[in-house]
Structure 1
């Protein structure tokens, strides 16, 4: 049943008189005949991360496999195919590209200037959206300004600036000053739609949709330096239950929950990152729009999940969709509505969800493969809206900062090539030592080591790797080496804590059985690459992938001597990790000794400028390797194709390419016996 009104008119009136409702009283809907039918498409984008154009700012070339300008082509197609459609965005919209960083940190947009991402979205027209975790990366002041949302929080904008031309809703983040939501928690979208009587006659009828939005609760950890003491967060289920009576008092025909989160059937907690499965169980929610996980739903990732239909797109009986990331896809929920007993109901036998890719896969050697030549064309209107700032961002990141005599890449970062992590760790160590000498002279004799992860290891496709060639370095090089706008943070740990950190990172690998005769994948695809931290700075260790999780770090030393469990270290990392991001043991923000105001990327750029002719001797040595392991079968992994020579140059002679996948990637073998 779609219209979940209050149990009685008196109850609805009580909510209104109590001041609970944030909308004007619902208008009296005209009586519509039973048997009326209407198909409504709910379209979704999510995790666009300001990938407006099909362009790779790091490699300075077009990339037709990403980009909102191509998603718009699919949106126009959907609007042609479906007479009735609504378009929503599920967050992580304003951060994630060079263009986004340029507008937030370099040439900041002023109050009267609309953000490029929102300008592009307004060009196609949205009906609503929510806020993701990465929206908070640039701070509440910036978020308040660019969304056109005055906020009663420390640093929040008090005037209304230029923002998107569609409503943003967020129900589970509140001001620490007054306890009120920093965004409107929910709103109503009213629209006339085409409906059809049983005899085929067309009627124009009203459809009243309520939308309510949710961010992942762990933002309080991930962006602690931006949010602590300024906002509070509740769980998504608690927020939904809090506001559902207000929404129901408005008698909507549909309630759409827009969650920047995915699906997890683990026991529910109020800080659950991906609470969509539980949100679907809140009475009154009719449609669920998902995000954050950078995967497609419906899709095979969710096969065998309890009460989830990964073919037709239902979560606990609720139609749902998650439309990929970076503008690679459009989520589509096709709702079949039927009028029954004076309300709209969903005919679930004729309702389904789909994810439309901008690059429909083609079959190569019997496998579905993404081919750039098979991508839909870009919509020309989008580039016209952002062309000037796009070119300005390109000009900025091409600012020279030095010269390198070494190649720094992440093609084999999971296999021990630390060339792209070494400059990050070197810069972090230098900065921390300088700052700590004055801020904490009592720590002068404590060893300082640093942790970094390879952010680009092929998750987004064969071009999604860092690769800084020998030659001139620019700000683009620093942005390629350090992808996120994190700030530098240092924590104090003992030797046992350092080992626990590394053991957690080593979950990146599957357990390898030496006696198995078939191929064994080295990489655990369920453990994301940006959580595979690698520590340098006098430390050395060996990873034994034949051992179970928690027992893989062997021969852990500092300056050649075994690390004692009680030995003290300063580990330099980023604010995300130090505040608990990734759920590493001993990292919860309580042991921070340095919280720098400077971004890690900017620290790295200054370090590169201070080494105008970067050479291998300027970088810390590779700190780890795999334990020797003779296997009967072949241990394999996937990376970009035809890169074996890079592995050889960087000393990884144990790697050889086995076969080309035909999609820009290749399968490699790694010989762990040497």
Structure 2
């Protein structure tokens, strides 16, 4: 692979635009410019969490967007290659599922012999050197995943995914993929002389795939702890002669005490002796970068280091390209790192009015590679399946009972009652748990469901339910229902009575874990602290945020049994909700939650998704709180009857601010 592709001028804005004449003078990175004899600049580039977003197109809103798309990131890749004498490109996983193109390819098109998936076509155009797997690669099953990766022109590595039971020695595990690859390249030093360098890449997937995709993996695969696998395989890479070892970790950054089979283990992975640099992902955040990393020991979000080693997390959906630049120095017959920089370079910015401004244009070759599948996806998502008599929106899904969550619960309840009508559970009362998936947050100020009155197409259903989860049901007690809701109430900060415009939402609590349970009524008392932390551990055992919990108008009986319909992620223990795990599962559906919603809408013809107001906040006289939502939420404020909401001006990063009067 050539180390220099299309040339672009180097002022930051014009560099990123990728649209100037190829003959313009290229300014090299300082490491390339200053490298002496026996010194060389190596640039490593990362994409992560692409989630099939090849095109800069929002299939849910059915319109172009400037905040995503590998076709845009590709233009940065071209420009950034031009700044360096030597470069390699990697992908850090979660490329296969996540938007309607992914579903169209898996469920409508399939993968026939000789087919190449559009995201792989795009990657092949860009000349990736190596990739690893993310948790969403398993959503459509192992056979499908292997067909897809079989079309790549580059290898995949994963050191902690086995075909069967774990061995006593990780190096004896029967792995699905090579644990690592060592790529030998000729590298140019500061004088232009070339010498061989051996760069090792080792990959890791979150062990939790065995919970999240148990339907696809049980009895077929197993996972090992990330750090344990690294400690076994990194010495093998050294034994094989790797000069530099790079970890491809589809795992985020968590500063809490290390634990076995940790989901976000990159900080502790970086501490493994022999690893020189680490690419991370999974959390859909940016590192080095602002906000999220304050207070994590041994993580430097300014310099871009974990345990003192260069590290990057490159956002999601192609929003950024991760860069680790290494200045290498020859030490005998091998190379060592003498300096480094780390950066996550974006494809867009916001102007003074917070409007999104594209920094790059599409790369034509990437667009052409996936054009046919893109057009087929558009036809697929525009197919109507029914009508709605009320607007479906999620702008207030975190602060009030919400129509976008309501319709999911209606469909799940309709489905499970039919499925259980001839079983031993037919006489148990049915509740439904559902969470808002598009609720702003890291997705940005436009990341909300907004479907007007009228036709509902498949794109709208996919918008309501982003993931290809399957329906499952658990049988639990009334007390466990309460604890489920107590866990969900971690979405909110502790609010002192009488507070003025206190921040309502807990930024560290993911919205997809904010389950609303329909079939009961309840209030949330914000004056009490949260009962459980994000790991489901009781941190305030005496706290009772969930008040006035009733079933059929009467206080819920802690011992009464209920069927709760949910998805395979939650029923299998995803989110670490207290006592909710696979041992409570009584029904495993062959259908995805999205398919159930489609069938429900078809059955009904016209749905009425108006929220029934079954939950709300306990009144705290004289208290107000604030929260951010999308600017388009302003048109729906008057429709929210269960709480008092006021416009509170502008928020940050394009959001609008609202006030809730308690």
**Residues 226-249 of structure 1: CA distance to partner in whole angstroms, max 9, x if unpaired?**
111111111011111221232112
What pairs with 1:142-153 in structure 2 (closer than 5 Å)? 142-148=144-150
- Contact 2:412–2:597 (Cα < 8 Å) also in 1: yes
- Contact 1:213–1:257 (Cα < 8 Å) also in 2: yes
Q: How far 1:224 moved relative to its partner?
A: 1.1
Tell me how far apart the structure 1 counterparts of residues 585 and 357 of structure 2 sit (CA, whole Å): 49
Q: How far 1:342 moved relative to its partner?
A: 4.0
What pairs with 1:491-506 in structure 2 (closer than 5 Å)? 491-506=474-489
Q: How far 1:422 moved relative to its partner?
A: 1.2
Q: Does 1:576 align with 2:576?
A: no
What does residue 194 of structure 1 align with? 188
Tell me how far apart the structure 2 counterparts of residues 58 and 307 of structure 1 sit (CA, whole Å): 39
Q: How far 1:663 moved relative to its partner?
A: 5.0
What pairs with 1:647-658 in structure 2 (closer than 5 Å)? 647-652=637-642, 654-658=644-648
- More divergent stretch after superposition (456-465 vs 494-503): 456-465
What does residue 319 of structure 1 align with? 310
Tell me how far apart the structure 1 counterparts of residues 350 and 611 of structure 2 sit (CA, whole Å): 42
What does residue 335 of structure 1 align with? 326
Q: 1:546 aligns with which of 527, 543, 559?
A: 527
Q: 1:203 to 1:361 in 2, by over 3 A?
A: farther
Tell me how far apart the structure 1 counterparts of residues 264 and 114 of structure 2 sit (CA, whole Å): 35
Q: 1:589 aligns with which of 578, 582, 586?
A: 582
Q: 1:615 to 1:304 in 2, by over 3 A?
A: closer
- More divergent stretch after superposition (111-120 vs 244-253): 244-253
Secondary structure at 1:43's aligned position in 2? strand
Tell me how far apart the structure 1 counterparts of residues 299 and 509 of structure 2 sit (CA, whole Å): 22
Secondary structure at 1:221's aligned position in 2? helix
Q: 2:45 aligns with which of 38, 43, 46?
A: 43
Aligned length: 608
Residue ranges of structure 2 left out of the alignment (5+ in a row): 1-34, 167-172, 532-543
What does residue 508 of structure 2 align with? 526
Secondary structure at 1:299's aligned position in 2? coil
Q: 2:105 aligns with which of 86, 103, 111?
A: 103
Q: 1:664 to 1:34 in 2, by over 3 A?
A: closer
What does residue 296 of structure 2 align with? 305
Q: 1:373 to 1:317 in 2, by over 3 A?
A: closer
Q: 1:177 to 1:671 in 2, by over 3 A?
A: closer
What does residue 432 of structure 2 align with? 450
What pairs with 1:124-139 in structure 2 (closer than 5 Å)? 124-139=126-141
Q: How far 1:624 moved relative to its partner?
A: 0.2
- Contact 1:536–1:621 (Cα < 8 Å) also in 2: no
What does residue 28 of structure 1 align with? none
Q: Does 1:207 align with 2:197?
A: yes
Q: 1:87 aligns with which of 86, 89, 92?
A: 89
Q: 1:71 aligns with which of 64, 67, 73?
A: 73
Root-mean-square deviation (Å): 1.7
What does residue 31 of structure 2 align with? none
Tell me how far apart the structure 2 counterparts of residues 390 and 381 of structure 1 sit (CA, whole Å): 14
- Contact 1:34–1:340 (Cα < 8 Å) also in 2: no
Secondary structure at 2:97's aligned position in 1? coil
What pairs with 1:2-401 in structure 2 (closer than 5 Å)? 36-148=38-150, 163-176=151-164, 179-196=173-190, 201-300=191-290, 301-348=292-339, 351-364=340-353, 369=354, 371-401=355-385
Residue ranges of structure 1 left out of the alignment (5+ in a row): 1-32, 149-162
Q: 1:410 aligns with which of 391, 394, 401?
A: 394
Tell me how far apart the structure 2 counterparts of residues 563 and 189 of structure 1 sit (CA, whole Å): 62
- Contact 1:287–1:319 (Cα < 8 Å) also in 2: yes
What does residue 17 of structure 1 align with? none
**TM-score, structure 2 length as denominator?**
0.89
Q: 2:629 aligns with which of 609, 621, 639?
A: 639
